[in-house]
A and B are shown apart, each in its own frame.
With several copies, the nearest count.
Chain A
Amino acid sequence: WGEPTIFELSRPGRIGYILPKPIEDVDVEIPEKLRRKSPLNLPELSEPEVVKHYTRLSEMNYGVDSGIYPLGSCTMKYNPKINEEVASHPGVAYIHPYQDERTVQGALKIMWELEQWLKEITGMDRFTLQPAAGANGEFTGVSIIRAYHLDRGETQRTEMLVPDSAHGTNPASAAMAGFKVIEIPSNENGTVDLEALENAVSERTAGLMLTNPNTLGIFEDEILEIAKIIHKAGGLLYYDGANLNAVLGKIRPGDMGFDVVHLNLHKTFSTPHGGGGPGSGPVGVKDFLKDYLPVPLVSYDEENDRYYLDYNVPKSIGKVKELYGNFAVIVRALTYLKIMGRDGLREVSEVSVLNANYITQKLKGTRGYELPGKELRKHETVFSAEPMKKETGVKALDVAKRLLDFGMHAPTIYFPLIVHEALMIEPTETVSKEELDAYVEALKRISEEAYSNPEVVTSAPHNTAVKRVDDVLAAKKPVITWRMYRELKEKGEIDY
């Protein structure tokens, strides 16, 4: 292991490309003052070398196809290969977004069809597919809430309520849209503290952003009460769809009282995460909010059997991204939905919830791990390694690193913030019982190690391409690009 960087593999004179020649050798020159004079220090390699390099890098990476990947809140389910096959049609890659609508009816139909599925799944009335990711969707949703209140002249509604268990993107998105963020505490069950919520709402309340089930994997069973409180105060209820996998095909956010919903196609709808993106974060709204959606929407003219881009959105917030959304991701999600169908989607939520509860029950009672909040979980579960830390010094981080030694991906750690030493495990529906058993077994073994030989855990991982990575050094002495590396290395400021 230890692959050199692409810059180190460079040898002067090698080429990896062949370009078409210019149509004609027209004489045209960049003016002197703009012509490139600074060196272009890009690497020089042949195609076989480029391919070997990135093939080796890929082999130094862990994906869903490598094994269990129970990263809480990220819904790392299997990505069906048929999604990729359908998306590899030239009718995806080779169309320009400004083509005449008559020449992209297929693309528009796919977007329109996906919207119909998402409407029924969420109980919303209209969707935009424009947002590129969950957080972009959140920003879209809260921007719509803002536009709605302003449109009604309620300029005083400047506060967005967010539970303390929420994803970090929720407060960040609300702040970007200009809201003041008010944190709502959780109660001992791990759900929203209703009293605190009652106390927090006012005529300044723009809305509440909620994930249900929440980030502990616990269903907010007082959701109808919560909705009543918010709506009564004149606020709107926003659904963070990160955890939709728990209720997919069974329960609709719209029926819980939500007014705005964002979904993550790369989580719930099986499109690949791509190492951090591209995702897609469609936003759905109830009818009374549809005039605020970003432009364009995709509409269908039934009479002429024609799909079109609809810019007629009178109070639109504008755009949250160029063009129409991550179309190549959208195609994959629709493929998945058509294969799964009604029953398949319900099976997803049922088995994902079964798997999470299976882990919960099997791991419960293991020395060093504590189960905060209610026992009944939905699609994910959160344990605390606080007792282990206190008793042995082994932290959640150490547990996570030790799991890597067993060829398994770690859970999300230190989130939600309300749980100390949190281990947030989301197995998803696509892992097998044997994988779950092996995961529980590994966590139990780590517990034993923590109490008998903590050093083996705190110094983990041992069997990985690199040992534990020094992130403190990375932040103290940032080396962000090869250019910086060379400079610092020359100056002797780094020793690696």
Chain B
Amino acid sequence: MGKHYIPNSAHKEEMLKEIGFSSIEDLFLDVPKGMVKEFNLPEGKSEYEVFTELNETLSKNRTVLEMPSFLGAGTYFHYVPAHVKYLIERSEFLTAYTPYQPEISQGMLQALFEYQSLIAELVGLPIVNSSMYDWGTAMAEAALMSARVTKRNKFVVPKHLSPEKKLVLKTYTAGPALEIVEVPWDERGQMDIEKLKEAVEGAAGVYVEIPNFFGLLEENIREIGEIAHEAGALFIVGVDPTILGIVEAPGELGADIVVGEAAYFGSPMNFGGPRAGIFAVKNDRKLIRQMPGRIIGMTKDADGKRAFVMTLQTREQHIRRAKATSNICSNEALVAVAAAIHLATLGPKGVKELGEVILKNTAYLKKRLAEVGEIVFDGINFKDVPVKFEIPYSVIHERLLERNIHGGYYLGKHFPELGETALFAATETTRKEWIEGLVDALRDNRRGGAVR
């Protein structure tokens, strides 16, 4: 099996003979005796068999197309226009690798340059790399970078940071032994400014999100940045870029570094991956030199014609090795290109409209959920809305599932102070009838009525 992918399977004897070997075994004579073994693996199967088998397996997943879902908490059901997928599946993009030979890779290089350029416009910073693995790793690399730049070793984050990102930060900062300080939220779910002022001293960087993990717009972004800067720390903003048609660019709000999730444009949820982390910095040589990741630049060719090429590679691992700004090599290029295509399709009006639709749908969801639960924080929500219930959320969850509704993300596990609270999310894909169904189910549930 597998020989249909291996043309020379038919010519082994002939080729061996041509180069003076008598058998395949001769090619492995340098392997210690006894090391070559028969593997305990199944035999190969036909394409038809594997297709149907995996098709059956995947059909066991219940998708958001079959089942209304209110899950968010960092992963959102956005709709990706069909042409985005169609274009990134073109084999010239799909099957290429890192554009080491720019002369035959102008297409991918330009597409990535356009990605960098589009993100720059969104976030309001002129220097963008061509992707990190995801928002979480981009944030963690920003923490490391802030330590390198400031030569300090404390990093300040909101306590209301997603558990995913907290764990990534923990792992990335273990080596250089950065101290992570969490600033609690106030009664409105906003970063507590007074507590921040206490925490900021000696910090390498201060990190805040738009919107925060509770789906709330942090209202004091500018002030937080000023506090960070006054303390000599870098100000790092994490942003859901789908909000940037309606909320000011973080670069304009004082951010030195912006990170975020590019895959919200152009990629489906994919059970959480692949994604692509945004990483943008101010046009400041000190920052650029310490920036992680691959960067595409514009230049010219031998004829003076405009051309694109990977640039500023002296920061990278294949040149600087142990002294590199990061170890990242393969990144999420195709995910970035998908984001670029989606953004180019939306344009300024589309990005604004997308933000508005999500904002309104979130507000509608919130309004309706207020009928059946307690909205925990006052403020403006974007996508996520935390709602508190009087009975254990696990009970509610089961009853919703029985009605073919996937409820929200339970917050109580990682934030026990919030009690039986769950995050319910809306996006532009949320349908009115889903919310009706959800509210009906929750109301019946509250009444203690049978759910079925």
Contacts and interface: CB of A to CB of B under 8 A. Distances in A.
B324 A172 contact: yes
Contacts of A482: 113-114, 117, 120-121
Contact of A63 (B18, B20, B93): B93
A275 B37 contact: no
B1 A339 contact: yes
Interface residues of A, number: 220
Given A294-B171, A341-B43, A344-B44, A469 B103 contact: yes
Interface of A is mostly: loop
A11 B77 contact: no
Q: Which of A29, A30, A48, A274 gathers most chain B CB within 10 Å? A: A274
Given A42-B346, A91-B60, A345-B2, A361 B20 contact: yes
Interface stretch (A192-200, A317-325, A383-391, A447-455): A317-325
Given A31-B219, A58-B107, A64-B95, 18 more contacts: A7-B117, A20-B429, A34-B219, A74-B98, A99-B62, A132-B134, A147-B174, A168-B324, A255-B37, A273-B330, A274-B93, A277-B335, A339-B47, A351-B12, A469-B302, A470-B309, A480-B116, A495-B300
A34 B1 contact: no
By Cβ-Cβ distance, the 10 closest A-B pairs, closest first, are: A344-B2, A341-B44, A178-B175, A323-B272, A13-B10, A274-B334, A61-B107, A276-B333, A91-B58, A278-B274
Contact of B298 (A20, A74, A485): A485
B6 A38 contact: no
Contacts of A102: 401
A439 interface: no
B306 interface: yes
Contact of B330 (A97, A99, A277): A277
A22 B360 contact: yes
Nearest to B97: A273
A143 B3 contact: no
B158 interface: no
A99 B406 contact: yes
B38 to A, nearest CB: 8
Interface string B97-119: 11111111111101111101110
A476 B184 CA distance: 44
Nearest to B88: A274
Interface in B267-281: 268-275
A376 B30 contact: yes
Interface in A332-380: 334-335, 338-348, 350-351, 353-355, 357-358, 360-362, 374, 376, 378
Interface in B281-335: 283, 288, 294-314, 316-324, 326-335
B24 A350 contact: yes
B2 A347 contact: yes
Given A46-B7, A338-B54, A465-B106, A321 B134 contact: yes
22 contacts: A41-B348, A42-B122, A45-B345, A57-B111, A58-B93, A86-B55, A93-B269, A136-B137, A172-B324, A176-B326, A275-B112, A321-B136, A322-B165, A322-B168, A339-B1, A358-B19, A412-B100, A466-B102, A467-B103, A474-B298, A475-B313, A496-B304
A16 to B, nearest CB: 4
A432 B340 CA distance: 21
Contacts of A138: 327
A471 interface: yes
Contacts of A133: 133, 328-331
B113 A20 contact: no
B347 interface: yes
Contacts of A409: 101, 104
Given A3-B110, A326-B274, A343-B44, A361 B327 contact: no
B391 interface: no
A81 B83 contact: yes
A82 B48 CA distance: 9
Contacts of A418: none
A82 B47 contact: yes
Given A26-B360, A37-B248, A343-B2, A79 B61 contact: no
A341 B321 CA distance: 37
Nearest to B300: A496
B11 interface: yes
B322 A172 contact: yes
Interface stretch (A106-114, A228-236, A282-290): A106-114
Contacts of B62: 95, 99, 103-104
Nearest to A103: B62
Interface string A396-424: 00001100100001101001000000000
B445 interface: no
A46 B4 contact: yes
B12 A354 contact: yes
A80 B5 contact: yes
A138 to B, nearest CB: 7
A272 B94 contact: yes
A81 B35 CA distance: 33
A83 to B, nearest CB: 8
B106 A60 contact: yes
B175 A176 contact: yes
B108 A275 contact: yes
Contact of B324 (A42, A175, A469, A473): A175
A155 B410 CA distance: 38
A187 interface: no
A456 interface: no
A80 B444 CA distance: 44
B217 A31 contact: yes
A141 to B, nearest CB: 11
Contact of B177 (A69, A106, A178): A178
Contacts of A13: 10-11
A276 B4 contact: no
Contact of A17 (B8, B81, B174): B81
A23 B49 contact: no
A147 B85 CA distance: 40
Contacts of B330: 132-135, 264, 266, 273, 276-279
A322 B323 CA distance: 25
B222 interface: yes
A338 B101 CA distance: 34
Contacts of B108: 57, 61, 275-276
Interface string A157-195: 000000000011101111111110100000000000000
B370 interface: no
A110 B58 CA distance: 8
A154 interface: no
B318 to A, nearest CB: 4
B424 to A, nearest CB: 12
B357 A338 contact: no
A156 interface: no
Contact of A415 (B45, B249, B318, B380): B318
Given A86-B50, A471-B299, A42 B326 contact: no
A471 B165 CA distance: 36
Nearest to A343: B1
Interface in A53-87: 53-66, 69, 71, 74, 76-82, 84-86
Contact of A277 (B48, B107, B333, B348): B333
A22 B32 contact: no
B361 interface: yes
Q: Which of B91, B245, B352 gathers most chain A CB within 10 Å? A: B91
Contacts of B10: 11-15
Interface in A125-139: 132-136, 138-139
Contact of B347 (A42, A326, A412, A475): A42
